[in-house]
Structure 1
Amino acid sequence: MSIKKLQIPTYLSALSVMIFIIVLTFFLIVGKSLLIPLFLGGFFAILFTPFSNWMESKKVPKILSSVISLLCMALIVGGLLSFIVGNVASFTSDFDDVTSKINTYAQRIDEWTQSTFKMDYEIRNKANPDYLKRVLKENSSNISDFAMKTVGSLSGLVLIPVFMFFFLLYRHHLTQMMIMIYRDRDPNLVKMRITSLRKVILHYIVGVGKVMIILAILNISAYSALGIKHAIFFGVLGALLNIIPYVGPFFGVLLPVIYSFLTKDSLFYPVAVIVCYQIIQMIEGNFLTPKIVGGNVNLNAFITFLGLLIGGTIWGVAGMILVIPAMAILREIFDLSNTTKPFAYLMGEEKEKTQKNEKPEADNESSE
């Protein structure tokens, strides 16, 4: 007797997919305080896995190598946070003459609108520089609060190194678990797939880090040439924010533009900052990222933009940072099975395929 396979109607399959998306979104929102530290700890663990492997190859115990990696991560992140907080806190001393400058600019705008449009908008009376100065002073001391909101809470900030330590300590144990789950397949093939997924994220993080270092050098050089104070801070901050595609670079240049506008006597400086920003972003988009990061992520622009919106809505700033490598992992997982390969195709670029398809057509035309 032939056994007939049960075929699920198309509308039920679509409904099940929608229900799964709703449940997953609800799970991500409810578990935000736990999942954000879990993902961040996992990415830090992936970043320091080669270092731990190297130490263990030198006969260093696994626990000690995990602790040393954790200390290195804490020193790097702590150094960056202290650098940012220290520089932002020093901004308040540079805004002593903000009130007079804002009044001067507002008066010039009123004079221009009155002479051009014969109308007086009274911007000089509506401007409230004291409020702006108070906001700048208050925000300069709240960078740590912003960091807390990014990871969710103080407990989330503590959980990140804890998760990183356990991921490093039990990384081989987790790999063996995946091999046991897929026991019907070749263990070497499963291990190779897991290693390739880890390398995708590692190459992405390392590539983005290299791009940020080069961007920091370019930003610092440009701001120093313009004579803007805190050039190192503005350059490093702009490079760090570049990890958030599309949105990060905009906020990275917004602060030096406002600072130069309020502290310099000419509009040349904020305009020059914007011009330098455009040139540096052109170099980054056309040369640095394609050459250094390359196709490690292989996500098309639409999926990247959509992922940023969803990640920002669900998890805020942390979601915008984590969503790109998370979608890269999903694309690699989708590519493992023939049933999910269409989703991998939807998320990825198709430059290589189009180039391969164009060559045979060109050969046929030449032969004809």
Structure 2
Amino acid sequence: MINKMPLTVRRSIEIMGIFFLGWLIVLGKGILAPLLMAFFLSIMLLPLYRFFRKYKFPDALSIGISLLALVLALGLIIWFFSYQIASLVSDFPTIQENVTKHLRTLSAWVEDISPLSTAEQTSFISEQSSRILGYAGNMLSGAALSITGIFVFLGLVPIYIFLLLFYKNLLLRFVFFWFSRDMHEKVEGAMREMEVIIKSYLFGLLIQITYITVLLGGILMIIGIKHALLIGVIFAFLNLIPYVGALLGNIIGVLITLASSSELWPIVTVLGVIAAVQFLDNNILMPRIVGSKVKINALASIVGVIVAGEIAGVIGMFLSLPIIAVLKIIFDRTQNFKQWGILFGDERPSESPMVEPALRKDNQKVDQQLERENNIESTDESEHKS
């Protein structure tokens, strides 16, 4: 029925569908954020769950042990953060002294290049500090709600994980009932590919956090930078947020180093080591770990991160890339939405469609050629490997 509609009508319906879908996501973000997080974590726990099921453990017990392993891992991460932050807090008098020294140096430099005296700078800083404190007070007034939301989120995620794993066969049957029999093979292939992509992505992130923490923290510790492990861990976790996280990680690393040192050379050292580790991560390690079955272009990634951040905050930023990857897999396998898969993908043609007419059409040979040119594993290959 839809295929018989004029193309302009179909495109109009797609745009309206995207609008209403976005509206529903904004309205239901409190429900969808923990559900999506639980969905991705449950896929990550599938190998452990299947291991216990292989040895005839009861279904509920297999899920419970898998959840316990996840809780223990998160508990260790929280303990590590608490220990490192406690070490940073214990150095607060030294931090205060170093910050005061750096501010005096900055004040003298500003006085040399501008007509502002030290007294005028102090007055300006005091005025701006009052405004910042007032803004912080307004933010803290709503902190109780946000903390409550965090506890609700953390309470719902394990429940959702348990239920998603417990009812996974029922949910899969529900999915297949949405499609006609001739589409079941494609649906099965898409779901298997999504599982492979999500698991490789999430396990890749775990490995990425580990080696960035070890590399960055270890190198900075050898050099003699204080709170090296804390800088490494913070950067490793923030680096999970595409593009934006790396910038924030650099800023926080510099602030911790600046506050803990009375000299400027450690700042240059920290920035240099971060840049070297990030180059190694982006160009050598991460592509080999996660693989190249699905590539998302930088424009779609940045827009996705910003939009997801506006809708669901930091959680949305973390989930943006796996969600886009899942959507691309679905779009690539459907005739009516294939153009959206092209928009998200990184299969960049060397020629312009304005010059080469073959690029304007849905052509399997052209798609395979683009995948080869951009070093992307074809869908058929990823199916056989999974």
Q: Give the TM-score normalised by the residue count of structure 1.
A: 0.83
Q: Which amino acid aligns with 2:347?
A: E
Tell me how far 1:125 sits from its aligned partner.
Answer: 5.8
1:269 counterpart residue number: 266
| 2:285 corresponds to | 288
1:207 and 2:204 aligned: yes
Q: Does 1:337 align with 2:353?
A: no
Summarize the alignment of residues 175-186 of structure 1 with structure 2, pairs less than 5 Å apart: 175-185=172-182
Instruction: Name the structure 2 match of 1:7.
Output: 5
Aligned-residue offset at 1:197: 1.3
* Distance in 1, Cα, partners of 2:304 & 2:98: 41
- Greater mean deviation of Cα atoms: 37-46 or 177-186: 177-186
Aligned ranges 1:206-245 → 2 under 5 Å:
206-245=203-242
- CA shift, 1:178, in A, is 2.1
Mapped contact 2:44–2:202 kept (Cα < 8 A): yes
| Residues 1:119 and 2:115 are matched in the alignment | yes
In structure 2, how many angstroms separate the alpha carbons of the residues matched to 1:189 and 1:85? Answer: 47
User: Are positions 1:27 and 2:24 aligned together?
Assistant: yes
SS of equivalent residue, structure 1 residue 228 = coil
Whether contact under 8 Å (1:241, 1:251) holds in the other structure is yes
Distance 1:46 1:94, change over 3 A: same
Residue 340 of structure 1: how far off its partner (Å): 1.7
Q: CA 1:34–1:85 in 2, change beyond 3 Å: closer, same or farther?
A: farther
Task: Name the CA distance, whole Å, in 2 between partners of 1:297 and 1:186.
Answer: 22
Structure 1: how far apart are the matches of 2:57 and 2:273? Answer: 47
Query: Could you tell me the TM-score, scaled by structure 2's length?
Result: 0.80
Alpha-carbon separation, structure 1, partners of 2:291 and 2:124? 50
- Give the unaligned 5+ runs of structure 2: 349-367, 375-386
Q: Retained in 2: the 8 A contact 1:297–1:325? A: no
* 1:37–1:151 Cα contact (<8 Å) kept: no
- Structure 1 residue 53: deviation in Å? 0.9
From 165, 168, 172, give the equivalent of 2:169. Answer: 172
State the AA in 1 paired with 2:314: V
Structure 1: gaps spanning 5 or more residues: 359-368
Deviates more, 1:45-54 or 1:189-198: 189-198
Deviation per residue, 1:236-294 (Å, 9 max, x gap): 22112211111112222322311221221211111211111111111111111222122
Q: 1:151-195, CA deviations, whole angstroms, 9 ceiling, x for partnerless residues? A: 944222211000101111122222222233324226555333322
Task: Give the match's secondary structure for 1:219.
Answer: helix
Distance 2:307 2:18 in 1: 12
Distance change in 2, residues 1:150/1:177 (3 Å): farther
Runs of 4+ in 1 over 6 A off after TM superposition: none
Q: What's the CA shift string for 1:26-82, capped at 9, x where partnerless? A: 211111111111001111100010111111111111111011111111111222123
The 1:262/1:47 distance shift into structure 2, 3 A limit, reads: same
For residues 111 and 305 of structure 2, what CA distance do their matches in structure 1 show? Answer: 43
Equivalent position of 1:258 in the other structure:
255
